[in-house]
Structure formats: C-alpha cells, structure tokens
Amino acid sequence: MSLFSEASTPGLTPADYERKLAARDKTIDVLKRRIAQEARHSHATPFAILEQNVGLEKVVARKTMELENERHELEKALAELRLAQTQLLQAQKMESIGQLAAGIAHEINTPTQYVSDNVGFIKGATDSLLKLLNAALALAEVAREKMADDPAMAEFDTTLKRTKIDFLRRQIPGALDESLEGLEHIARIVAAMKEFSHPSKNVKERIDVRDVINTTVTVARNEWKYVAELETNVADNLPQLPCLRDMVGQAILNLVVNAAHAIADTLQEGVKEKGRIVISAFQNGDYLELRVQDDGSGIPAAIRDRIFDPFFTTKAVGKGTGQGLAIVYSTVVDKHNGKIRCESEEGVGSTFILQFPLNCRNEDEPACK
C-alpha cells in the first residue's frame, strides 16, 4: 500500500526549513545591531543621526514585517511537511504490516491445509471404524453367552468398560465436525488476510466491490464482533468499479473501526447490549455509492468539520491517531475523484457516504479507458 506517495519527494526537508527560519531570525538581529552601531560611530549632528535612525528604523520595521510574514509562511510549510512525512511513515508502516500479514497468511495456510486434509481423512476413517465397532459389539453380544467362562471374554468386557465406549461413540464425530468447521474458519480468515494485504499495484483495476467488503469485514471481525452486529447490503446489479482495491479496502476498514469505536462508547453507558453497523453499496447515477452506517455516539456538530483533518482525534492515545478519516478522504477525493460526506446526529449515529465515479476516464489507467 502506498498511501500519500506523492509526499515522498518534497523539495525541502524540515531541517532545511528550520535552517531557513534561523537564517531569517539572524538577519533581523544583524539589522538591529547595525542601527545601534550607526548611531554610536557616526560623526553627524545629533539631529542628522536622529533623522537617519528614523529612516533606518522604518526600513527595519518594514523588513522585519516582511521577514515575519515569510517566517509565518515557512512555519506553515514546515508543519505541512511534517504532516506529509508522518503520513508517509504511516504508509510505509502499513506496507510492512501488509507484507508481514501476507507472509504470515501464507505460513498459516500450508499447515492449515494439511491439518484439514488429515482431519477430513480421520473423520471418514472414524465413520468406518465406528461401523466396524458396532459390528464387533453385536458379535460380542452373541459370543458372550457361548464364551461365558472364557477368560478372553472377561478381558474383552473389562477393556470395554474402561474405554467408556458409549461416550466415545457419541463425542468423536461431533469433535471432528467442530474441528473441521474451525479449520474452515481459519482458512477463510487467512484467505481474506492474503487478499487484504496483497501488495497494491497502485494501478486501478475493475473489481467487484462486494469482494472487498466481504474481505474487509472478515479481516476486521475482531474489531466489531464484541460490540455490533454487522450487516452488508450490496445491490445485485452493482457494476464493477475501477479503483485502487487496497485503498478502498483500507477506507472501509477505517470506517468500520470508527463505527465500532463509536458504538463501544455508547455501550459503556449500558443502554443496549450491541450496536449495528450496516455497509451498503449501490449505484447512484454515475457513481458507486458506499455507505457505512452505525448507531454509535454520533459526532458533535462542533467538531464535524474537523473530522477529516489529519491528526484530528477525540480518542485516547493508543486508540486513535486521527489519521483514519484523513486517509479515507484522500482515497476517495484525491485518488478516485470521488466525493465524501458524513451525516451524523449526536446520540443517534453516523453514516459516511462515499461516492466513487464509475467512469474514471484516464488514458493512463487501463481500467479507465
């Protein structure tokens, strides 16, 4: 994933800006000192000196103002640069995490596959063995009368008692079915992880957004399952979307995580047991509209116009970095020429509405021709 990759080639580094600011401050100092010196060493009349000083001071005042303005501009540029740098770092971190996740997914996949195969085999074999056991037990019933005094019969009965055969016959098939179900679940998560962390080619592809939604929901399950029921609602005739698959997945993930957090906040008040997140996708004119709705805390009107700002967060350190919605915004608006808005009511919930153009018209992008 290479979010904000355009920020990777800035002309100046923060250190450059800091040096420039220091140089400006020095210029102001030098000018001030020059005035003081002029006054001390000049042989002109006091009045001439005064006049000269007034003129000089005017120049210095003007110059100082210019420099202060410039300083302000530089400071702003420096802040922006710092932000871009942090975003780039975050993007690089995501990329490494993605790579790691893909590697781990692969590592888990192989043993999962052979364990599944083996458990499947054991299940079939157990069915056969149980049939054989039933036949053997029936045979033992018949033999018991004829061999009542035979020590072999007594030994068989002792072993039979010790093995708690009825319990095993009841439990083994269920345990194997449960194991197979668990393994299937692991395989599904691993497949989703692989799909999700698949390194982006940074080229738009025409994809079925339904797949991205399903993958993301599976990968993020642990984030929402304790606080919410999650429902997906994708229109049957949804056209394919030319998009950067990973970034769209990342955007949905960020929105789902935010929704889960907002719901968790309301659950603490103990009013309800679980909230509800609905992800829907449908065609709206020339756009594919993607909605992530929650019945969480809602967003106070006072901060609604700041939520997309980079680093704006109302969450505690460690829980929020304030980058989620900035990344969503950049993905939708900058990367896909789309639109984004949020409808929210405090105490009721929020809906994030993302609109991606279905026709991206860009000769450089094969998916957009």
217 contact, one of Mg ion, ligand ADP, none, CB 5-8 Å limit per kind: none
- The whole-angstrom distance between residue 79's C-alpha and the CA centroid of its chain comes to 25
Amino acid in the structure at residue 37: Q
Among 258, 330, 331, 350, binds Mg ion (CB under 5 A): 258
| Dist. CA 230–CA 278, nearest whole Å | 6
Nearest to ligand ADP of 17, 329 (CB atom): 329
Convert 313-327 to b/e letters by CB count within 10 Å (16 or more is b): beeeeeebeebbbbb
Q: In the complex with ligand ADP, which residue's Cβ is closer, 112 or 216?
A: 216
β-pair type (241-243, 228-234): unpaired
CB of 47 closer than 8 Å to CB of 124: no
Closest CA to 263 of 349, 343, 326: 349
Q: Which residue type is seen at 368?
A: C
DSSP 203-251: S-EEE-HHHHHHHHHHHTHHHHTTTEEEEEEE-TTPPPEEE-HHHHHHH
Minimum distance from CB of 274 to Mg ion (Å)?
A: 20
User: Minimum Å distance from CB 225 to ligand ADP?
Assistant: 17
In angstroms, give the least distance from the CB of 345 to Mg ion: 19
Contacts to ligand ADP by CB under 6 A: 254, 258-259, 262, 294, 296-299, 307, 312-315, 320-326, 350
d(CA 261, CA 264): 5
Give which of ligand ADP, Mg ion, none residue 315 binds (C-beta under 5 to 8 Å, depending on kind). Answer: ligand ADP
Write out the two tokens for 150: 């035979």
324 forms part of the interface with Mg ion (CB under 5 A): yes
275 binds, among Mg ion, ligand ADP, none (CB under 5 to 8 A by kind): none
**Residue 232 interface partner, choices Mg ion, ligand ADP, none, CB cut-off 5-8 Å depending on type:** none
Residue with Cβ nearer ligand ADP (324 or 357): 324
- Rounded to a whole number of angstroms, the minimum distance from the CB of residue 73 to ligand ADP is 27
Q: Which lies closer to Mg ion via its Cβ, residue 282 or residue 312?
A: 312
Closest distance of CB 324 from Mg ion, Å: 3
**What is the footprint of Mg ion within residues 82-101 (CB under 5 A)?**
none
**Sole window of 57-65, 116-124, 300-308, 323-331 interacting with Mg ion (rule: CB under 5 A):** 323-331
Contact 209, 142 (CB under 8 A): no
Secondary structure of residue 283 in the 3-state scheme: strand
- 204 vs 261 by CB, closer to ligand ADP: 261
* Measured distance CA(308)–CA(324) in Å, rounded: 8
With contacts defined by CB under 5 A, name the span among 91-99, 159-167, 228-236, 324-332 that binds Mg ion.
Answer: 324-332
CB of 337 to Mg ion, least distance (A): 23
- Closest to ligand ADP by CB, 344 vs 355, is 344
- Within 13 Å, how many C-alpha atoms sit on residue 253's CB side? 22
Q: What is the signed CA dihedral for 55, 56, 60, 63, rounded to 10 degrees?
A: 70
Selection from Mg ion, ligand ADP, none that 2 binds (CB < 5 to 8 A by kind) is none
294 binds, among Mg ion, ligand ADP, none (CB under 5 to 8 A by kind): ligand ADP
Specify the residue for token string 């025409």: 206
User: From the CB of 295, what's the least distance to ligand ADP, in Å?
Assistant: 10
Nearer to ligand ADP among residue 310 and residue 357 (C-beta): 310
| Backbone Cα Rg of the chain | 35
Helix, strand, coil percentages (3-state) for the chain, rounded to 5, are: 65, 15, 25
Q: Which is nearer to ligand ADP, 288 or 299 (CB)?
A: 299
Binding residues for Mg ion, rule: CB under 5 A, are: 258, 324
